[in-house]
Every structure is written in structure tokens, then in C-alpha cells.
């Protein structure tokens, strides 16, 4: 069933073909969408675009004008934009007493300022009924030690999503947050090479395992489809970890 037939999707954060953005782009294409894949690295984007018969466009979410140009290219190429999802992010843990202003600025550019610009540009270019999705994180609910920069900027984006859903209600746009738990991607792959953290995290999952990229991509598919009837909401794909707690450093690393 082609759930996204005749729809045009912009997927930012797709330079890692096996990461969230890459898998989401492939899922959208398999359901009939025309997809513009975007990220910072041209070569993997070209490879992905060829695989899904889409269009590649380099975009650095932290650079002035890049996001605006991304949506211009998408509309010039396909005539419209129906779906826009931003899956960019950085993961550089560290305690508060080690955070510098430069570190916090980096987090802000990638996980707050850039996503807000993405939401704005998508909303401005879309016709009535489009879908805008920003990936945040279920860790914003868990007071994750060592992740203040990460969870702080993700939480701020979550709140902007609610505001945007109200500000663009005249266009009947669906603007939502997709909030995964710990997922095995190129960004978090180092954790999955260690038995301790994964075993401890899995223990906190009521479903007995951690979510994978396909679980997240399927949720992103629903949010992009006409079946979705929600806006200003946070859709968790965490295997229920948010119901429990994050393991301690001792439980994960034996410290």
C-alpha cells in the first residue's frame, strides 16, 4: 500500500544512510513519496538519492540560508512540499562543570536554532494539510545525567513544536515531535559496542528490547501519512523506557 503516493518529502539528516534520516527516507520512498534527501555530505546523499530515485541536496542546518535553500530546491524540483522531517543531531555527553559556552552554542545551533528554522521554512512553503516532524528525544523526560546540553536543546524544540502547531493552525498543518529512546545509529554506535550500557537500558524496557531504526521510521511514516490526526504532540518510540528510569553509571559501566 502506497501510503505516501503523490506526496513530496524533505528529509534532513540523511547523510548517514543507515541512520535515522537515511532509513526514514527509504521508508517514505517505498511508500510512494518523492524524496529530497539532505545533509552535510554530498557523496552518501547522491548514493541514497540514486537508490530511492530521489533528489540530493546538501544542507548544513547550522549555516545561514542552507535550510531556506533546501526548501526552495524541493519546491522548484517537485512543485510542492507535503512532508518535512529533520533528524539531525549531535551527541557529546559531559557534566555541567565541563560545559563551555562554545559547546552549548554548538548544541543550540544543531538541536534548537536549526530545527526552529527548519520548522518555520517548512510551514511557510507548505500548503494546507502538510506534516512537519522534528526528532527530539525521550531523554528530555528522564533528567539524563551528563546530557544537559542535549536534553536542554531538545526540550526547547519540543516546546516550539507546540507553539508552531498553534501559530500555523490556519493551514491545518500537523507539526509533531518524534521522540526516540536509545537507538543504534552511527551517532550512538559506540554505546552499542559495550555490553553493559545496552544490557542496563534493555532491563528498563517493558517491551524487553530497545527500539531500532525501523521502529522509528515506521512511526515517522505514520506521522507523515493521512492516517495521522495529531498535532503539537510528542510521539515516543522508546520501548517504554520513559516509564521507568535511566540506569546509573554504576549499572551501565560498573563504576
DSSP state string for 103-123: HHHHHHIIIIIHHHHHHHHHH
Asked whether the predicted pLDDT for residue 246 surpasses 60, the reply is yes
Domains of the chain: 8-188+210-244 (3.40.50.720)
Determine the pLDDT at residue 188: 56
Q: Average per-residue pLDDT in the chain?
A: 90
Considering 108-117, 145-154, 176-185, 232-241, the range whose residues carry the highest mean pLDDT is 108-117
d(CA 108, CA 151): 11
Determine the pLDDT at residue 238: 83
Query: What is the pTM for the complete model shown?
Result: 0.91
**Model confidence over 74-122: pLDDT tens digits?**
999 999 999 999 999 888 888 889 889 999 999 999 999 999 999 999 9
d(CA 66, CA 71): 9
- How confident is residue 144, by pLDDT bands cut at 50, 70 and 90? confident
Asked whether the predicted pLDDT for residue 189 surpasses 70, the reply is no
Q: Name the residue among 137, 140, 138 with its Cα closest to residue 152.
A: 140
Amino acid at each position: 500500500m502506497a501510503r505516501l503516493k503523490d506526496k513530496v518529502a524533505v528529509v534532513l539528516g540523511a547523510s548517514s544512510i543507515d541512520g535515522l534520516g537515511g532509513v526514514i527516507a527509504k521508508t517514505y520512498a517505498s511508500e510512494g513519496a518523492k524524496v529530497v534527501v539532505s545533509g552535510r555530505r554530498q557523496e552518501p546523499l547522491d548514493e541514497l538519492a540514486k537508490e530511492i530515485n530521489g533528489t540530493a541536496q546538501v544542507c548544513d542546518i547550522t549555516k545561514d540560508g542552507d535550510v531556506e535553500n533546501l526548501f526552495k530546491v524541493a519546491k522548484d524540483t517537485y512543485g510542492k512540499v507535503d512532508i518535512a522531517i529533520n533528524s539531525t543531531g549531535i551527541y557529546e555527553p559531559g557534566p555541567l562543570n565541563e560545559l563551555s559556552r562554545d559547546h552549548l552554542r554548538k548544541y543550540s545551533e544543531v538541536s534548537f536554532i536549526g530545527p526552529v528554522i527548519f520548522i518555520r521554512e517548512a510551514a511557510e512553503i507548505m500548503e494546507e494539510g502538510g506534516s512537519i516532524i522534528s526528532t527530539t528525544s525521550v531523554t528530555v523526560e528522564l533528567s539524563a545525567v551528563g546530557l544537559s546540553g542535549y536534553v536542554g536543546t531538545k526540550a526547547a524544540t519540543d516546546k516550539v513544536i507546540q507553539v508552531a502547531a498553534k501559530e500555523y493552525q490556519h493551514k491545518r498543518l500537523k507539526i509533531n515531535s518524534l521522540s526516540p529512546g536509545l537507538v543504534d545509529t552511527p551517532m550512538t554506535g559506540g554505546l552499542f559496542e559495550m555490553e553493559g550500557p545496552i544490557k542496563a537500558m534493555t532491563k528498563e524496557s517493558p517491551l524487553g528490547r530497545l527500539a531500532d531504526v525501523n521502529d522509528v521510521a515506521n512511526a515517522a511514516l505514520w506521522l507523515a501519512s493521512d492516517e495521522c490526526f495529531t498535532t503539537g504532540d510528542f510521539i515516543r518510540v522508546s520501548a517504554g523506557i520513559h516509564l521507568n528510569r535511566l540506569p546509573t553509571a554504576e549499572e551501565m559501566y560498573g563504576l
